Amino acid sequence: MRKLVVTTFVLAAMLCLASSGLALEKKAMRYDADGIDDWNAGATCVQSYYNICTGWVWVFGFNDATVENDTATVGLNGANCCGPGESSALVQSRIRYWTGSPQGYGFTGTIATFAANGLGCPIGAAIQSQPFLAPFVAGNAFYTHNWVGTLPNSYVLAVTFPCDVNGTTNPLGFGTDFGTTGPTGPDACGTCFPTGRTSRSHIYADSAGNHCPGLDFQPTQSCDVELLWDLASACAVSVDASSWGSIKGLYR
């Protein structure tokens, strides 16, 4: 795990979701891609839906001063990146986070994979699940999880975590790409990515309950933003497809 170096802090703003008491604290940070290519050797396909071309990212922190033991669920709707006739298995996920969660405060959550419905929301029981407690750091880091097993063509990687436990706020923050003009450089919206791109990063649940489709991280801007999450998958040809290919080869 490598830390990202944060060189500048330039903005702090408080946003409140109209449908709940959940509050998001948004900060602009300088982006550093150190360690971005350190990947699981078994991966044949890596998906990163974010785009950083202006050198800035948003960092969203969750807190709720009015509801104790509140939790939030954030996630990324992934898709099968393998070819026709190939199955996709998620082998590793890497989440870029800020500060993390100290141990001993009840901040442990879960990270899990789910099948997704037509709206990109998690449905049914978790396919796989692991504990989630991003190590507490003075800055930024990658939180990596290894996975085993195939996934449907559309799935959700979701993190559910406490925002507040007995009056203590979880300092965990998640990074996204930048959906507007940064302190330097051009407007990322329309430069790094098209203005009408489909958002895959959502807040699926908060203190008001479930949301489907999920809430976007930056709905007031002309471009929504994507979580700085990377998904590494391994592609494999199905048994049927492989056998049929061998049979066809006999008659060539």
Structure confidence at residue 49 (pLDDT): 92
pTM (two decimals): 0.81
Q: How many helices (H) and strands (E) does the chain have?
A: 1, 18
Per-residue pLDDT tens listing for the chain (252 residues): 222 222 222 222 222 232 334 456 667 666 665 545 556 667 888 889 998 888 888 899 886 544 445 888 999 999 888 888 888 899 999 999 999 999 999 999 999 999 999 999 999 999 999 999 999 998 888 999 999 888 899 999 999 999 888 888 899 999 999 888 878 878 888 888 888 888 899 998 765 567 888 888 876 677 889 999 999 999 887 655 444 444 444 444
In sequence order, which residues have a C-beta less than 8 Å from that of residue 158 and are 6 or more positions away? 73, 74, 75, 76, 111, 112, 113, 114, 122, 204
Q: Which domain holds residue 173?
A: 3-250
Measured CA distances, 161 to 6, 106, 209 (Å) = 24, 10, 14
- pLDDT score, position 71: 86
pLDDT of residue 216: 86
* CA separation for the pair 32, 3 (Å, rounded): 9
Contact 69, 142 (CB under 8 A): no
**Helices marked H in the chain:** 239-250
pLDDT score of 37: 55
Quote the CA–CA distance of 156 and 128 in Å, as a whole number: 11
Total structural domains within the chain: 1
